[in-house]
Chains A and B, each alone.
Chain A
Amino acid sequence: MNTNTVNSKKAIAQLTIVRIIVYIILAILTILCLFSFYMLIINSTRSNGELQGGFTLIPSTHFIQNLVNAWNDSSINIPRGMLNSFLIAALSAICATYFSALTAYGIHAYNFRGKKFAYWFILAIMVIPSQVAASGFVQICYKFGLTNNYLMLILPGIASPVVFFYMKQYMEAVLPMEIVEAARVDGSNEFFTFNRVILPMLKPALAVQLIFTFVASWNNYFLPSLLLTKSELKTVPIMIAQLRSADYSKFDMGKVYMFILLAILPVVIVYLILNRNIIKGVTSGSVKG
């Protein structure tokens, strides 16, 4: 009895120390992470002239001015750019995530001839750097008149080896064959089983990959800048680059920082929505289990 309380007291003291260390680590990381945002916010309150004078820690007074200037800049259309980016990013995230899960499940749950080859083939192409094929892809698009076509930015996502690999590994960890077998209803369509039974079990993984693929697509500049040349189709990173290559009379870093800041907001919203899903999926899963 006595030793027990001593032990538990000791344990509580230990736990408190560990907690303190953990919070210190978290605090340091938080400061590091938020500092760049702090800089961004400060910069978005400063005029182009002030920005040329170097960085300071104190905000200035041009926030509204920069917002109005960026919003009214005739070379870009912020809401339109956000909408375009959102459309492309959301659709390519859904394509990449859904089809990767489907592919991973196809290899995870079934035995068929060439399965091993398919698996290793996908892993092999995962190793090919994305920059490699990009310029060839651009040339093909120009040759066949496929520029200014969103499908060229969305559909290639169906074949995302990295997302596939994650899904496959995740299934290996949480989806043993017994569960797959149990989920099967004899005679029912396998496609139906995947969509209705398997996908919900993958919720945390889906949410994670939706976030990552969404952010990657949202921030993508290289391919869109070469393929989307019509002003009404342009995405946020192209518009930001356009502000940066504006001529001397319109060049204004205040607008640039303001737009960079604005461009983060939709991503934060998407993140917060999906992030909740990472936990939700697990709690509902564990209730089931």
Chain B
Amino acid sequence: MKEKKEKRHVSYAKWGLIFIAPFFIAYIIFSLAPQIITIYNAFFENYRSGLTIVGPNFVGLRNFVSLFTPDANGTIDILKYTGNTLLMWVEGAIPQIVIALLLAIFFTSYRLKIKGQGFFKAVIYMPNMIMASAFSMLFFTLFSNVGPVNQVIQAMGWADATIDFFSMTVTVRGMIALMNFLMWFGNTTILLMAGIMGIDQSMFEAANIDGANSLQTFFRVTLPLLKPILVYTIITAMIGGLQMFDVPQVLTNGFGVPNRTTMTLVMYLNNFLSGKNYGMSGAVSVILFIVTGILSLITFRSLRTQSEEA
């Protein structure tokens, strides 16, 4: 039996190659060259001074050395921005995944029979439909010194003076995390729901007949079967989180206020890119690639082995 299967696979092998060919052709045509150029640039001095192109001059690892050289206060910028990015991502992503998982269970639960599901499902996805820049503009006016949040706080007598939300690290990071949460939890819910609905319904029925309660069903049936999708959700959320850009960029006008404590890695990258500093932007890209790669691999491996054990 086993032998037969393998034989079959061999005879079908060419189809596998045909099916994956378009992806690789498109990748080579559209993405490969710019990506190689980016990495290549990381080892060169290459920037524009106005319209004058300086370089490319080979500098070895100098760009990387300068990225990791502490400034006068002893801060290594790129580590600071990596920390900012990870922290703001975690602040938004943990509630995002927890709430999304809960909602996905609520919506697919037999017993709860949530009414108005169609409405809720549309509503939770709506923040994702607004452009990130427009969403940030709204938050900017909402929390401005003369904005409604301040008006409410003063009307309620909770504070005497205006609270400048943009002058405090906690509040700016909080706003960014809240926005990211609002923009992405609906998205994650839909992913997980599609995953749960893809599970063979007879499994749930069997669990029900065996007298499993909701929690047992969730941990024994849903979670193991949902694992591949959950792995996907966590890894892509992390990749997206490390590439966090437009929300903090628009909200802080690209300056990562206060004192660059909300500057993310890609905002930093963007500062180099908008100045056409291809050498340094290449170096930041390589580091971003390495950081994301390592974190993804760790997550992937740890979640993988767990699921294989289960």
The residues of A that contact B128 with a CB separation of less than 8 Å are: 215
With beta carbons under 8 angstroms apart, the residue of A40, A106, A158 that contacts B15 is A106
Contact between B232 and A166 (Cβ–Cβ < 8 Å)? Answer: yes
Interface: A212 (CB within 8 A): yes
Residues in A156-212 with C-beta less than 8 Å from chain B: 156-159, 162, 164-166, 169-170, 172-174, 181, 190-191, 194, 204-205, 207-208, 211-212
Complex Cα gap A166–B129 (Å): 20
Contact between B130 and A40 (Cβ–Cβ < 8 Å)? Answer: yes
Interface size band for B: 35 or more
* Known contacts A107-B16, A127-B293, A159-B26; 17 further A-B pairs (Cβ under 8 A): A15-B111, A29-B185, A33-B124, A110-B13, A123-B300, A127-B289, A127-B296, A129-B292, A132-B281, A133-B31, A135-B281, A165-B232, A169-B228, A173-B199, A278-B197, A286-B200, A289-B201
The residues of B that contact A124 with a CB separation of less than 8 Å are: 293
Contact between B123 and A169 (Cβ–Cβ < 8 Å)? Answer: no
Interface: B266 (CB within 8 A): yes
* Max chain B C-beta neighbours (<10 A), residue from A133, A267, A286: A133
Pairs A–B under 8 Å by Cβ, sample size 12: A36-B127, A40-B134, A55-B148, A100-B23, A110-B12, A158-B22, A173-B199, A181-B5, A208-B194, A240-B131, A267-B129, A268-B129
Count A-side interface residues using an 8 Å CB cutoff: 97
With beta carbons under 8 angstroms apart, the residue of B33, B123, B300 that contacts A136 is B33
- When C-beta atoms are compared, the residue in chain A nearest to B240 turns out to be A162
Complex Cα gap A32–B138 (Å): 13
Given A127-B296, A130-B243, A170-B228, does the pair A268, B132 have CB atoms closer than 8 Å?
Answer: no
Of A62-70, A75-83, A111-119, the one touching chain B: A111-119
Complex Cα gap A110–B15 (Å): 7
Residues in A216-232 with C-beta less than 8 Å from chain B: 219, 221
Interface: B126 (CB within 8 A): yes
- When C-beta atoms are compared, the residue in chain B nearest to A131 turns out to be B266
Interface: B135 (CB within 8 A): yes
Given A130-B243, A158-B26, does the pair A260, B228 have CB atoms closer than 8 Å?
Answer: no
Contact between A19 and B34 (Cβ–Cβ < 8 Å)? Answer: no
Contact between B16 and A109 (Cβ–Cβ < 8 Å)? Answer: yes
Interface: A13 (CB within 8 A): no
Residues of A participating in the B interface, judged by any CB pair closer than 8 Å: 15, 18-19, 22-23, 25-26, 29-30, 32-34, 36-37, 39-40, 43, 54-57, 99-100, 102-103, 105-107, 109-113, 115, 118, 122-137, 140, 152, 155-159, 162, 164-166, 169-170, 172-174, 181, 190-191, 194, 204-205, 207-208, 211-212, 215, 219, 221, 237, 240, 260, 263-264, 267-268, 271-272, 275, 278-279, 281-282, 285-286, 289
Enumerate the 5 nearest inter-chain pairs by beta-carbon distance, A residue then B residue, closest first. Answer: A106-B19, A110-B16, A136-B34, A158-B26, A133-B34
State the total of A-B contacts with C-beta under 8 angstroms. Answer: 271
**What's the nearest-Cβ distance from chain B to residue A213, in Å?**
12
Contact between A37 and B126 (Cβ–Cβ < 8 Å)? Answer: yes
Residues in B115-133 with C-beta less than 8 Å from chain A: 118, 120-133
Contact between A173 and B228 (Cβ–Cβ < 8 Å)? Answer: yes
The residues of A that contact B63 with a CB separation of less than 8 Å are: none
With beta carbons under 8 angstroms apart, the residue of B19, B121, B198 that contacts A102 is B19
Complex Cα gap A33–B128 (Å): 10
- When C-beta atoms are compared, the residue in chain A nearest to B185 turns out to be A29
Where chain B touches its partner, the secondary structure class is helix
**What's the nearest-Cβ distance from chain B to residue A260, in Å?**
5
**What's the nearest-Cβ distance from chain B to residue A248, in Å?**
19
With beta carbons under 8 angstroms apart, the residue of A22, A155, A219 that contacts B26 is A155
Contact between A156 and B26 (Cβ–Cβ < 8 Å)? Answer: yes
Complex Cα gap A123–B231 (Å): 13
Given A57-B148, A205-B198, does the pair A221, B34 have CB atoms closer than 8 Å?
Answer: no
With beta carbons under 8 angstroms apart, the residue of B16, B135, B202, B288 that contacts A289 is B202
Interface: B146 (CB within 8 A): yes
Complex Cα gap A155–B191 (Å): 25
With beta carbons under 8 angstroms apart, the residue of A99, A125, A219 that contacts B131 is A219
Complex Cα gap A169–B194 (Å): 12
**What's the nearest-Cβ distance from chain B to residue A198, in Å?**
11
Interface: B161 (CB within 8 A): no
The residues of B that contact A204 with a CB separation of less than 8 Å are: 194, 197-198
Complex Cα gap A54–B19 (Å): 55
Given A22-B114, A34-B123, A132-B285, does the pair A159, B15 have CB atoms closer than 8 Å?
Answer: no
- When C-beta atoms are compared, the residue in chain A nearest to B227 turns out to be A173
Interface: B207 (CB within 8 A): no
Complex Cα gap A165–B233 (Å): 10
Given A110-B15, A156-B26, does the pair A54, B147 have CB atoms closer than 8 Å?
Answer: yes
Residues in B241-264 with C-beta less than 8 Å from chain A: 242-243, 245
The residues of B that contact A55 with a CB separation of less than 8 Å are: 141-142, 147-148
- When C-beta atoms are compared, the residue in chain B nearest to A31 turns out to be B123
Instruction: Provide the B190-206 mask, 1 if CB < 8 A to any CB of A, else 0.
Output: 11011101111110000
Contact between A278 and B243 (Cβ–Cβ < 8 Å)? Answer: no
